[in-house]
Chains A and B, each alone.
Chain A
């Protein structure tokens, strides 16, 4: 069941406002003398490029996909909670890892596989740029659709129960709506639904709804500050909290480094959308990074 009645409106308004308050654009063109006679400049209409530096904002997918025939490899770490203190070197002693390969079939469609040490999870995903923002804003925003299936690889917690493979599976489907304003600012609005085949108890919902907001602001040609927030809408376990991450992208040729602090430990959608339980005010946050590299074929 979806319950939409009980959530505080103010928290929901934030990601929407975040997205909407910058609508509108302006472009100027200048030309001179003999160049004027070349006729009216026809500004080329193309899809807007580099709305985000990488295929992820921090945890969540961005609108970007690898180009056709490009293999995009990401290795990501989340260290332990920083409030573990000096004994665990503020979390650095413990790391969970995720490895992912995404392959661009076309410039708009890619598939991916991934493995996380967190709950020994395998992922298979499809990502499609359904709509791409245009340089002349005739299409004012982009919509990318992302679907991922996640398989928990842990041993069964109760071997005596009837355990089927489908009980390991969960799915997340999301629409990533993005808009780039000028050269520096890009924002995203990301509604997601997560479905798990197996839940802890009869009273738990199989479907969880979240609404995310994200963005980046370029501080130089090769670096940006990123922010990401997911608001829990409905169907979530009581222990879950909203996921909030802040980070920085640094691009160096074919690599993108993303460094961040996040209260989510898991790096796949079900985990960071619906199973986040670290709280910022207690310092229960994780330092981590994503490192991506592209290979052309």
Chain B
């Protein structure tokens, strides 16, 4: 289980920058390199109250789809990763956001320290890939791809 995990995303356009942080990520990783993350959508915090409301009501529809998740395995898994150094690995799995699943291969960094895995990853998500439509009127305020970063410390199962 996660001891601590957070995910943030960033949308940058010339008109408006939008950033949200979520400190309630849970996740686990098995000895075989399989992993699962879950992100409660309602736990994203924005700078402006109205952004948060629109995010939940209009875009992510978080009452209908309360969680985002990423589940899969570390493609290049081996016990040698446990040497206490950072390693670049590839996480392959299914990213589920807004009820729409996408197969994703996401480069990540992994480090065994003490008795837990530290994991870091930066990647991009396109709202359109998850059936999140952005009306024309606000299209210049919301980026077509969002930069996402995740950091977590996971206990091995």
Binding site for B on A (CB under 8 A): 29, 31-35, 37-39, 41-44, 46, 49-50, 67-68, 70, 107, 135, 182-183, 221-222, 251-254, 294, 296
Contacts and interface: CB of A to CB of B under 8 A. Distances in A.
Given A39-B1, A183-B61, A34 B28 contact: yes
A41 B38 CA distance: 9
A34 B71 contact: yes
Given A67-B48, A252-B138, 17 more contacts: A29-B66, A32-B71, A34-B28, A34-B71, A35-B36, A35-B71, A37-B157, A38-B27, A39-B26, A44-B42, A46-B42, A67-B49, A251-B58, A252-B137, A253-B138, A254-B50, A294-B50
Contacts of A49: 52-53, 56-57
A67 B58 contact: no
Contacts of A43: 40, 66
Given A43-B66, A252-B135, A252-B137, A34 B1 contact: no
Given A43-B66, A49-B56, A253-B141, A33 B26 contact: no
Q: How many B residues are at the interface, by size bracket?
A: 35 or more
6 contacts: A38-B1, A41-B38, A41-B66, A70-B48, A252-B135, A253-B138
Nearest to A45: B42
B135 A222 contact: yes
Nearest to A296: B48
Contacts of A46: 42
B147 interface: no
A50 B50 contact: no
Contact of A41 (B49, B52, B57, B67): B67
Contacts of B67: 31, 41
A135 B141 contact: no
Contacts of B48: 67, 70, 296
